Amino acid sequence: MAHDVLISKEDIQKRIQELGEQITKEYDGEELVVVGVLNGAFMFVADLVREIKLPVHLEFMAVSSYEGTKSTGEIKVNLDLKESIAGKNVLIVEDIVDTGLTVKTLRGILQQKGPKSLRLASLLYKPSRNVHKVAIDYLAFEIEDKFVIGYGLDFDGKFRELPYIGVYSHG
Ligand code: 5GP
């Protein structure tokens, strides 16, 4: 199966280098807690932290959409933070902001834990689908409303290992 390459491996790496430089400058002299959102952001977070020249404490969270209607939040936390983020500079690292629901809810959950600062880095952003307005502090690429795979992103659990971002095609 061949997928059209939307963003090449080289372009991804170049952009992540730029974001890493920007983050390093903007948090100069500070420590940073990087919260990678599993599974989709695993590759992005691995590459991004290597370009951040600051002391980094790495944490992961895993979230999924809540099926029930009576839930307190709109997403379910399947893997939570191991350590307190109170008084810390926190950077959420996501794979893609689509409707914005995941990120908006996650921001709310983390904000309640009293961080010194809370920012968001996202690999991709689909503006056409954005219903929950969220500010992305560090965005790698804005894309059209197409279903993408690769570089951490899956279709039915597959294609996460691809080093590029492709447009999913059947057959
Ligand atoms: P949101 O809550 O912003 O609507 O959705 C974010 C989540 O939807 C992402 O973390 C990702 O898991 C999934 N998602 C949205 N668009 C795509 C896409 O084009 N490809 C893949 N593989 N996942 C997507």
Tell me which amino acid residue 110 is: L
Give the pTM.
Answer: 0.94
Task: Dump pLDDT digits (tens) for 67-125.
Answer: 554 444 578 999 999 999 999 999 999 999 999 999 999 999 999 999 999 999 999 99
* Contact indicator for 92, 119 with CB cutoff of 8 Å: yes
Residue tagged active-site, from 47, 98, 154, 156: 98
Write out pLDDT tens, residues 25-52: 999 999 999 999 999 999 999 999 999 9
Q: How many CB atoms lie within 10 A of CB 70?
A: 5
The pLDDT score that the predictor gives to residue 54 is 97
Question: Of all protein residues, whose CA lies closest to atom 12 belonging to ligand 1?
Answer: 40
Tell me, in angstroms, the distance from the centre of ligand 1 to residue 123's CA. Answer: 11
Distance CA(110)–CA(54), nearest Å, equals 21
Atom of ligand 1 nearest to the CA of 101: 2
Tokens for 77, please give them: 């936390």
CATH class of 3-168: alpha beta
Pocket of ligand 1 (CB under 6 A): 40, 95-103, 147-149, 153-155
Which of ligand 1's atoms lies nearest the C-alpha of 65?
A: 2
In this model, does residue 171 exceed pLDDT 70? no
